[in-house]
Amino acid sequence: MSFQAYLDNIEAKTGLTPRQFMALARERGLDEPSTKAGQIVEWLKEDYGLGRGHAMALVHVIKNGDRISDKHVGTSGSHRDESDRLWLDGVASRP
């Protein structure tokens, strides 16, 4: 599953876009550089019922924004992404 597919699945499950999760994390002070991934994972598990894999995808977005490694970009593997940029504003608004 691509990184973007993880984010799309999170939106389908929770009704929230990655950008909305970023704002919620900021409101809780969970976007600070010193925040540990485990703190964010626990919040996402408790409040939204997300498993570790989906939560870790959001941890990456909260900590790093829309950039991902180009390691899988343009490959034919199961973890391929079309771009090194993620779409954070929701499936419905994707161009």
At residue 95, the pLDDT reads 83
Give, in order, the Cα–Cα distances in Å from 72 to each of 36, 61, 66, 77, 78. 26, 17, 15, 7, 9
Q: 22, 70 in Cβ contact below 8 A?
A: no
At residue 77, the pLDDT reads 76
At residue 10, the pLDDT reads 97
One digit per residue, the tens of pLDDT, for the chain of length 95 reads 888 999 999 999 999 999 999 999 999 999 999 999 999 999 999 999 999 999 999 999 999 999 988 876 888 877 788 889 999 999 999 98
At residue 71, the pLDDT reads 79
